DNA sequence: CCGTATCCTCTACGATACTG
DNA sequence: CAGTATCGTAGAGGATACGG
């Protein structure tokens, strides 16, 4: 019995692992159009703790979806933005958003 | 200060709630082309426990993504399939799958 | 065959305080 | 401003046994 080839089932799971954190989709959505500073993200997502924001950003960075850019000015300036590779995930985000919108309308009526 | 309108950020989160369980995407993928019996799903996903399979199916049913169809024959025959509404989520699954495939190739090289 | 009922583990997430 | 370090908790997920 030989190893099976990955199938569609494996692929969808793979994507979910990258996007699956509680805040990741949210973060990516806010980063989609323009780079944002740490504090800007924090303000955009009031409920998130600094620890979680940090953690999720690091994971997205490790998956090479986003890029961390540091200016060693005073005060410190750190910007997060999509990497070129990360941008390939935007076509995935759009249908996700569209369906969520429809679904929200459905369950609210 | 009035309540804000839902934005794209909220929408993506909504979709993730429906698809977010550890096994849901996997289950949906196997159900995508044809209805499957409980035992067939169990066989397709060897690592899942009956409890988890049951639980995730129930949640997908509650979200009206899938439909449970019972034949009271002996032995019992229960089939799960996409609802008409559930089928609207397939266009979301496809990009998810495509990106996962590309990503797998990327991290394996 | 298709579940339910217990009990248990583990980790994702959070609250809070502190630092370069 | 942009983080790190600790400690704590809820709930998702799992193992196992049993029931219609």
pLDDT in tens, B36-70: 999 999 999 999 999 999 999 999 999 999 999 99
Residue A50, in any domain of the structure: yes
Token output for B50: 């009956």
Determine, yes or no, domain membership for B68: yes
Give the nearest chain B residue to A7 (CA atoms): B101
- Residue B14 inside a domain? The answer is no
Residue to mutate among A26, A103, A108, with most B CBs inside 10 A, is A103
Radius of gyration of chain B (CA): 17
The pLDDT tens digits for B22-33 are 999 999 999 999
Q: List CB contacts (< 8 A) between B10 and chain A.
A: 100, 104
- Which residue of chain A comes nearest to B19, CA vs CA? A16
Per the domain annotation, does B1 fall within a domain?
no
Q: What is the pLDDT of residue A1?
A: 46
Q: What is the pLDDT of residues A14-69, one digit of tens each?
A: 999 999 999 999 999 999 999 999 999 999 999 999 999 999 999 999 999 999 99
Beta-carbon separation of B103 and A15 below 8 A:
yes
Task: State the pLDDT confidence band at A105, using cuts at 50, 70 and 90.
Answer: very high
Which tokens in the block code for residue B3?
């309540």
Would you say the C-beta of A22 is within 7 Å of strand D?
Answer: no
Cross-strand partners of A67: A81
Task: Answer whether residue B8 is part of any domain.
Answer: no
The CATH number assigned to the domain holding A52 equals 1.10.10.10
Going through A13-59 in order, the beta strands assigned E by DSSP cover: 36-37
Query: CA–CA separation, B84 vs B4, rounded Å?
Result: 32
Domain count, chain A: 1
pLDDT at A91 over 80: yes
């Amino acid at each position: 019995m030989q190893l099976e080839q990955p199938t569609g089932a494996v692929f969808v799971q793979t994507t979910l692992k990258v996007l699956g954190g509680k805040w990741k989709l949210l973060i990516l959505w806010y980063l989609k159009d323009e780079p944002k500073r740490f504090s800007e993200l924090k303000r955009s997502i009031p409920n998130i703790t600094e620890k979680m924001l940090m953690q999720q950003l690091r994971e997205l960075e490790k998956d090479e979806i986003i890029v961390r850019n540091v200016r060693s000015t005073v005060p410190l300036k750190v910007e997060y933005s999509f990497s070129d590779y990360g941008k390939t995930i935007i076509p995935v985000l759009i249908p996700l958003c569209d369906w969520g919108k429809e679904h929200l309308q459905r369950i609210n009526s």
